[in-house]
Structure 1
Amino acid sequence: MNGAVAFLLATVLNLPVFAASSTATQAPKLDNATCLSCHDGKKGAIEVPAADDEKRELLTVTAEKLAGGVHAKMECVACHTDIRDSADKANAHGKADAPKLARVDCAGCHEKLLAAAQADGTLKDKPRLEVIVKNAHAYQKSFHARPNQNFPDQPNATCDGCHDTHSFNVPADKKSPAYDQWRLQIGTTCGSTCHSEQLDTYAASVHGQAAMEKHDIKAAVCTDCHTTHAITSSSDDPFILAVTDRCGSCHEKSLTTYRATYHGQINALGYTNTAKCYSCHGSHKIAKADDPKSTVHPTNLLKTCQTCHSGKKDLALAPAGFATYQPHGHAGDFNKYPQIWVAWQIMLQLLVGTFAFFWLHTLLWFYREFKERKAHAGEQQIRLDSVPAQYKGKHVQRFSPMWRLGHITFALSLMVLTATGIPLFYPTSPWASPLMTLLGGPHTAGLIHRTSAVIFAGVFFLHLFAVAAYLVKNWNTFKFFGPNSLVPNLQDGKDMIAMFKWFFGKGPRPKFDRWTYWEKFDYWAPFWGVTIIGVSGLIMWLPNFFGAFLPGWVFNVAAIFHAEEAFLAVVFLFTVHFFNNHFRPDKFPVEVVMFTGTFSIEEFKHDHAVEYERLVASGELEKYLVDAPSPTKLALSKLLGFVLIACGLTLLTLVGIGFFTQIG
């Protein structure tokens, strides 16, 4: 009896506890409707206590606004995770004594969703999720995510600042009208929240007018230049280097022509010290070129050039000729750029004609020599018993020390010129930027290039002086069209015809005198090359001097002549010249006569039979006979030859990669 009474009493006493527990578990949930009861704006502006005894107005989020966004099916507290109130205490987080609300972690939420989708295999049903997380990661590394200078505890911009996460609904289909409308609002979004001054300037520009007034969906908006999430400071190198490509995504032809200029070449190599698109055209206030307010209007061009070429630091004040330079000139429009078109046609015909003839000559020569050597396999190609016994073991002096010194200086300086010049010709090639870095950057490479040019030209003019002195001394006896002269003559034409007959098996191998027709070509080619490359290079080396009295298109023409003639010289030397002297079967793998100055009398008779017979007949042969070079000298000469050939072929390979990268 006493036990039953005690149990009943305990039950009665605990009823309030059970009632309270039941009430707690059934407390109204803090759902979206509860949140909207304050935040939907229907009650007017609601002010609640904030920090420092001030008041703040509740953010208004209408039900319609929330329903139109991609987060419409989510609960408010799914993002505002630190709000734990129940519906009957929904205002607790707004009271002055409430803890400060944590910043909503958009990136963290989407990362968790991605991880969950990857774990349960549903990622394929959520194709946008990976894109969103990628964008979030880009934002976290961007300028917007950096601490604000005035409010270090806040970033420069948040996701909500651009997207308004309560109504966020960026159309995924970039071809849809909805996306077009969203895109046209980007300028307003950026300008109305943060960049008001830039918006005012942009709105008056050719881009802004097209987007905001004409509603042209192709018009450039903020994100086309600055990107969306990976935004960097416009003064940082990554932005400076990338902005030209972003301009080029619309202005493709202009980007191509810009890349052909020195400014564009240096930019493509990864250096920021040359003019970019905005340096000339401006950034937010770009106007049409025929607008008098445009920085590239003819009346403003010189002033625009002088913003960089100001006479300060390393850049002299831009002369008048700079204003008529054509930074976007190209050879495809004779009516607009006649001088450039003519210059390109001249060089194109020269390139095609030279390579067509000499590469055909090379292939036929290789075929004929290879075929003859195969037919006479096992036999000596140069018979040692073809000369009298008293001459055996002797060599013939062919080149004097001065000739050899001039040749090696020419060769080395030309290779240095090539190595320091080709990164500019092919700046987008995979090897160009590393090579320029190895050279110490454009400034150092330029110094090396010009020093080598002076050496190359110096040897050339010293040779001219030596030739002139020889002619003055021997004017009465020297025969300009004689066998010892390098001046082309009628016999050279006959020899060439005979050579082609031999190529096709229609005649014997011709016999040559002291100089063959291809050797004479090798000799005279630098006269053309040094003139074209030298003069054009000098113009580009001293633009301020020449720009003071020459029109700007001269620089365009000089760039074409310099680049194409250099290409011709390099490819010709390292293909045709190397074949004629080193790679044809009779000479392979290396010919050292230009390093030792001599070759065997048997080789002399084989290569220059007419001269050999003439010297024997006149009794002058012994005047040219010398002892064979020592084994050490011969070995070192071969080593030098192999090194130069290896360097030449390496440069040729780089040029080939660059050429096909460029046209691809």
Structure 2
Amino acid sequence: MKIRNIRGLLAAVASAALLWPLSGHAAGGGDAPAALDNATCLKCHQSGKPEIQVEDAEGEKVALPAVDTAKLAKGVHAKLDCVACHTDIVDAKEKHEKAASSAKPDCAGCHEKLWDEAKKNNQAASKERLGIVVENIAAYKESFHARPDADNPDRPKAYCNQCHATHDFAVPPAGTPEREKWRMTIPETCGAACHEDQLDDFKSSVHGKLIEKGDPKGAVCTDCHTTHEIRNSSSEAFKLKNVLACGDCHTEELHSYRDTYHGQVNRLGFVYTAKCADCHGSHGIKAGDDPKSRVHPDNRLKTCQKCHDDKKPGMVKATAGFVTFGPHANTHDFEKYPKMWIAGTFMTALLIGVFAFFWLHSGLWYYREWQERKERKTVPHVRTGELGIHEGKHFVRFARGWRIAHLAFALVTMTLVLTGTTVMFADSAWAPTVAAALGGPKVMGIIHRVAASLFVGIFLIHFVYVMSRLLRDRNFRWFGPDSLIPNWKDLADCWGMFKWFFGKGPRPKFDRWTYFEKFDYWAVFWGVNIIGWSGLMLAFPHVTASFLPGWVFNVGTLVHGEEAFLAAVFLFTVHFFNNHFRPDKLPPPDVVMFTGTQSLEEFSREHPAHYQRLVESGELEKYLVDAPSRQLHVGSVILGLTLITVGLVLLVLVVTGFFS
């Protein structure tokens, strides 16, 4: 009934135009028509005068609001005449006759008209505040409040004067104590008029208690719902913006939330994962240590199970380990999150160490090869022509299985990088576009898991195949020149390369596998275990949380993402340089991994120790074949350039995502 009376009052205000004298005589007295100035109007409508009641649209008696002249004098409308807004009032009689051609008072129309006149007269710059009002009007017209009221479809849900005291409206300047004091009256304005239940919840909340104490740190309605562009709180647009509204005050918590899968999906523009209000509540938010709080340890599992429930499609019921998951865990607060600090420190050191060494290695290598090319010093280490072998022959370096596995790895890895980094770098400008193009996070998750399964499957097939062959070969030397296991020669070769970089010695003579090729090979073993196991735990959280504490999700997310970042950047910088962008390899690509062969001259130059061993043992000719056909070579070049281009595009996305 309270809301109904208020709406009736508004109808009366619009129909009676706030100017219905109680007296049975004309306001001016006698038979002479009274002047329609402010003094005449205030004789009846000033505060302190007898209350004026009118009938609303439903026939109920409601009181018209009186005008407080002291407040009116301080308001933005102080210099206006009453009839400037109430243009339909043409007399000062007890029951006003309305001008048939005049519109009822309209706040929006009046301000829009004034703004049009200001722009027409080139006064827009001096009336900036009026322009802001017009912007607010445009926002209001698109808002939830401007929609038709359910009880009265001909009327909006809320008028301007329900929130703004139109006669004495005056918002104090921002940054002043008066502004903060005015701001703290907003909950009563919203709650007393329409949202009584929400006001009751708010008063019991941590925000409401701060406002009650006069502390402006407490959030009020407009901080979360905005002022004029208020949206339906069940709409996706509101839910997305509401997270940012919370983050305006809780900045650090917003950043840590965005590091979780919940926040990453939200940042991509989707609202099906947990948001601030899902965990903390909305109007009745309690402090974390309050026993009634949704995030209190005693209540946290129940809160998680509101989303993580068997009854919801694609979800599984949350288990006990969920309670210790840290939705706002970070890597810089050792006291609160020691495990995250340790993991973050380790991963940072790993990234810096790997990139510092190999980028330095690549830069020095490029410089030395470029200098030797300029000085025409690059010549084959062994002259194949002197051995009586046809120089047009090619050496078989990789069997078909290796080549197929390499291509499959490349395609799967690029898929994993695209889908994974889109979520990891959800804050970047490109991520929402990519996510939408791929069908959203749910579809990307399926693609990512399928690609991960293929990656692990290929790895296991390769591992089983290689191990079965090596274990059957009784002559294989595990630390010999044909083995991919690092040995002392690799350390000597690495040291020799740095001496060569600085012109302090000759370039080392590599055998079948170089030390940097071995690093590439064994990095996959490291990556499969680190990325694979952490990804498996994250993919099945209910199983993980049944046996392990919730903080493993925090550490797992961190390690999974940063190890993947390390792998992607290493592949598309160091690996590409070693195999495609060194001066001796230009122009790219090197197609040996697609054709399986390389010219004998190139093989002898790249792996002179291996070449010399084969020559001395008389086994070289076993590995010689004709050069690949032109069709195979051209196709390999096209495939190589395509993969390099895709890789470099992914590198740009990853780097921009990292710095976003």
Residues 227, 382 of structure 1: alpha-carbon distance in 2 compared, 3 angstrom cutoff: farther
CA distance in 1, matches of 2:629, 2:123: 80
Q: Which amino acid aligns with 1:339?
A: K
Q: Which amino acid aligns with 1:576?
A: V
Match of 2:572 in 1: 574
Match of 1:127 in 2: 128
Q: Shift in Å at residue 127 of structure 1?
A: 2.6
Match of 2:364 in 1: 364
Instruction: State the SS of the aligned residue for 1:396.
Output: strand
Match of 1:584 in 2: 582
CA distance in 2, matches of 1:43, 1:623: 114
CA deviations 1:162-206 (Å, max 9, x no partner) are 0110111111x2121211110110111111111111111100100
CA distance in 1, matches of 2:102, 2:117: 26
Alignment of 1:90-101 (within 5 A): 91-93=95-97
Residues 51, 534 of structure 1: alpha-carbon distance in 2 compared, 3 angstrom cutoff: closer
Match of 2:11 in 1: none
Alignment of 1:159-198 (within 5 A): 159-171=160-172, 173-198=173-198
CA distance in 1, matches of 2:344, 2:207: 34
Q: Which amino acid aligns with 1:120?
A: N
Match of 2:20 in 1: none
Residues 99, 382 of structure 1: alpha-carbon distance in 2 compared, 3 angstrom cutoff: farther
Instruction: State the SS of the aligned residue for 1:390.
Output: coil
**Pairing partner for 1:503 from 492, 501, 514:** 501
Is 1:601 paired with 2:608? no
Q: Which amino acid aligns with 1:161?
A: Q
CA deviations 1:83-107 (Å, max 9, x no partner) are 222x3x353249xxx9799542111
- Whether the aligned pair in 1 keeps the contact of 2:381 and 2:608 (CA below 8 Å) is no
Instruction: State the SS of the aligned residue for 2:158.
Output: coil
TM-score by length of 1: 0.92
Match of 1:69 in 2: 75
- Whether the aligned pair in 1 keeps the contact of 2:90 and 2:96 (CA below 8 Å) is no
- Whether the aligned pair in 2 keeps the contact of 1:592 and 1:637 (CA below 8 Å) is yes
- Whether the aligned pair in 2 keeps the contact of 1:514 and 1:611 (CA below 8 Å) is yes
Residues 116, 90 of structure 1: alpha-carbon distance in 2 compared, 3 angstrom cutoff: farther
Is 1:155 paired with 2:180? no
The worse-fitting range, judged by mean Cα deviation, of 318-327 and 105-114 is 105-114
- Whether the aligned pair in 2 keeps the contact of 1:396 and 1:626 (CA below 8 Å) is yes
**Pairing partner for 1:31 from 26, 32, 37:** 37
**Pairing partner for 2:483 from 469, 479, 485:** 485
Alignment of 1:73-152 (within 5 A): 73-85=79-91, 87=92, 89=93, 91-93=95-97, 103-152=104-153
How many aligned positions are there? 629
Instruction: State the SS of the aligned residue for 1:249.
Output: helix
The worse-fitting range, judged by mean Cα deviation, of 427-436 and 32-41 is 32-41
- Whether the aligned pair in 1 keeps the contact of 2:385 and 2:391 (CA below 8 Å) is no
Instruction: State the SS of the aligned residue for 1:548.
Output: helix
- Whether the aligned pair in 1 keeps the contact of 2:382 and 2:604 (CA below 8 Å) is no
- Whether the aligned pair in 1 keeps the contact of 2:88 and 2:100 (CA below 8 Å) is no
- Whether the aligned pair in 2 keeps the contact of 1:395 and 1:625 (CA below 8 Å) is yes
Residues 78, 287 of structure 1: alpha-carbon distance in 2 compared, 3 angstrom cutoff: same
CA distance in 1, matches of 2:189, 2:55: 30
CA distance in 1, matches of 2:56, 2:492: 102
Match of 2:322 in 1: 322
Match of 2:510 in 1: 512
Q: Which amino acid aligns with 2:415?
A: V
Q: Which amino acid aligns with 2:641?
A: F
**RMSD value, Cα:** 2.0
- Whether the aligned pair in 2 keeps the contact of 1:387 and 1:602 (CA below 8 Å) is no
CA distance in 1, matches of 2:513, 2:467: 20
Give the unaligned 5+ runs of structure 2.
1-30
Residues 147, 52 of structure 1: alpha-carbon distance in 2 compared, 3 angstrom cutoff: closer
Q: Which amino acid aligns with 1:91?
A: K
Match of 2:25 in 1: none
- Whether the aligned pair in 1 keeps the contact of 2:223 and 2:245 (CA below 8 Å) is yes
Q: Which amino acid aligns with 1:559?
A: T
CA distance in 1, matches of 2:500, 2:513: 19
Residues 386, 356 of structure 1: alpha-carbon distance in 2 compared, 3 angstrom cutoff: farther
Q: Which amino acid aligns with 1:235?
A: S
Is 1:205 paired with 2:205? yes
Give the unaligned 5+ runs of structure 1.
1-24
Residues 618, 120 of structure 1: alpha-carbon distance in 2 compared, 3 angstrom cutoff: same
Q: Which amino acid aligns with 2:320?
A: A
The worse-fitting range, judged by mean Cα deviation, of 386-395 and 45-54 is 45-54
CA distance in 2, matches of 1:48, 1:558: 68
Structure showing greater Rg: 1
- Whether the aligned pair in 2 keeps the contact of 1:35 and 1:90 (CA below 8 Å) is no
Match of 2:22 in 1: none
Match of 2:428 in 1: 429
CA distance in 2, matches of 1:533, 1:126: 59
Match of 2:539 in 1: 541
Residues 480, 54 of structure 1: alpha-carbon distance in 2 compared, 3 angstrom cutoff: closer
CA deviations 1:387-439 (Å, max 9, x no partner) are 53433211111111111111111110000001111111111111101101111
- Whether the aligned pair in 2 keeps the contact of 1:382 and 1:603 (CA below 8 Å) is no
Q: Shift in Å at residue 125 of structure 1?
A: 2.9
CA deviations 1:297-328 (Å, max 9, x no partner) are 00000000011112212211111111110010
Residues 317, 431 of structure 1: alpha-carbon distance in 2 compared, 3 angstrom cutoff: same
Q: Which amino acid aligns with 1:436?
A: A
- Whether the aligned pair in 1 keeps the contact of 2:398 and 2:593 (CA below 8 Å) is yes
- Whether the aligned pair in 2 keeps the contact of 1:386 and 1:602 (CA below 8 Å) is no
CA deviations 1:573-627 (Å, max 9, x no partner) are 0000000000001112111111001111111111111111111111111111111
CA distance in 2, matches of 1:320, 1:546: 10
Q: Shift in Å at residue 44 of structure 1?
A: 1.7
Match of 1:295 in 2: 294
Q: Which amino acid aligns with 1:390?
A: I
CA distance in 1, matches of 2:461, 2:57: 85
Q: Shift in Å at residue 251 of structure 1?
A: 0.4
Q: Which amino acid aligns with 2:96?
A: A
- Whether the aligned pair in 2 keeps the contact of 1:184 and 1:215 (CA below 8 Å) is yes
CA deviations 1:316-363 (Å, max 9, x no partner) are 111111111001001101121111111111111111110110000000
Alignment of 1:355-434 (within 5 A): 355-376=355-376, 386-434=385-433
TM-score by length of 2: 0.92
The worse-fitting range, judged by mean Cα deviation, of 110-119 and 590-599 is 110-119
Q: Shift in Å at residue 27 of structure 1?
A: 4.2
The worse-fitting range, judged by mean Cα deviation, of 67-76 and 498-507 is 67-76
Alignment of 1:48-67 (within 5 A): 48=54, 55-67=61-73
Match of 1:634 in 2: 633
- Whether the aligned pair in 2 keeps the contact of 1:34 and 1:90 (CA below 8 Å) is no
- Whether the aligned pair in 1 keeps the contact of 2:534 and 2:560 (CA below 8 Å) is yes
